[in-house]
Structure 1
Amino acid sequence: MKSDSSASAAPLRGLVGPLRSSEPVRVTPTPSAAVVLLEEASDLLIVHLDFPGALQTCERAWQSLDKDGQAEEPAGTSLEVKCSLCVVGIQALAEMDRWQEVLPWVLRYYQIPEKLPPKVLELCILLYSKMQEPGAILDAARAWFRDPASQGLPEYRALVELHLHRVLLPLGCLSEAEELVVSSAILSEEQRLDALQAISTAKQQQNQQLSHSEEAQKQNQAQKRNQEDSFSHKFLSLLVLLRRLWDSAVSHFFSLPFRKSLLAALILCLLVVRFDPASPSSLPFLYKLAQLFRRIREAMFSPFYRLPTHD
Structure 2
Amino acid sequence: MECSSEVKCSLCVVGIQALAEMDRWQEVLSWVLQYYQVPEKLPPKVLELCVLLYSKMQEPGAMLEAANTWLQDPDNLGLPEYRTLAELHLHRVLLPLGYLSEAEKLVVGSAAFSEEQRLDALQAISTARQQQKHKHSDSEENQKLNQEGSFSNKFLSLLMLLRRLWDSTVSHFFALPFRKSLLAALILCLLVVRFDPASPSSLPILCKLAQIFHWIREAMFSSSYQLPIHD
TM-score scaled by length of structure 1: 0.55
Q: Give 1:137's aligned residue.
A: 63
Distance (whole Å) between structure 2 residues aligned to residue 179 and residue 210 of structure 1: 23
**Any residues of structure 2 matched to 1:200-239 within 5 Å, and which?**
200-239=126-165
Pairwise CA distance, 1:82: 1.5
Distance (whole Å) between structure 2 residues aligned to residue 250 and residue 108 of structure 1: 87
**Any residues of structure 2 matched to 1:15-34 within 5 Å, and which?**
none
Q: Are 1:247 and 2:163 counterparts?
A: no
Q: Are 1:94 and 2:20 counterparts?
A: yes
CA distance 1:212–1:98, change in 2 (3 Å):
same
- Compare relative contact order (CA 8 Å, sep 6+) and give the higher one, 1 or 2: 2
Q: Which of 165, 168, 177 is 2:103 aligned to?
A: 177
Distance (whole Å) between structure 1 residues aligned to residue 167 and residue 160 of structure 2: 11
Q: Give 1:124's aligned residue.
A: 50
CA deviations over 1:232-262 (Å, ceiling 9, x no partner)? 111111112212222333436969xxxxxxx
Q: Give 2:93's aligned residue.
A: 167
Distance (whole Å) between structure 2 residues aligned to residue 245 and residue 148 of structure 1: 87
Q: Number of residues paired by the alignment?
A: 181
Paired amino acid for 1:196 = L
Distance (whole Å) between structure 1 residues aligned to residue 110 and residue 49 of structure 2: 21
SS in 1 for 2:177: helix
Q: Which of 33, 46, 53 is 1:107 aligned to?
A: 33
Distance (whole Å) between structure 2 residues aligned to residue 180 and residue 199 of structure 1: 11
Pairwise CA distance, 1:226: 0.7
Distance (whole Å) between structure 1 residues aligned to residue 53 and residue 177 of structure 2: 81
Distance (whole Å) between structure 1 residues aligned to residue 92 and residue 58 of structure 2: 9
Distance (whole Å) between structure 2 residues aligned to residue 154 and residue 90 of structure 1: 23
Q: Give 1:60's aligned residue.
A: none
Q: Are 1:151 and 2:77 counterparts?
A: yes
Superposition misfits of 4+ residues, deviation over 3 angstroms: 250-255
Q: Give 2:5's aligned residue.
A: 79
Distance (whole Å) between structure 2 residues aligned to residue 142 and residue 242 of structure 1: 70
Paired amino acid for 1:140 = A
Pairwise CA distance, 1:93: 1.1
TM-score scaled by length of structure 2: 0.73
- Structure 1: gaps of 5 or more residues: 1-73, 256-311
- Structure 2: gaps of 5 or more residues: 182-231
Distance (whole Å) between structure 1 residues aligned to residue 152 and residue 72 of structure 2: 53
Paired amino acid for 1:133 = E
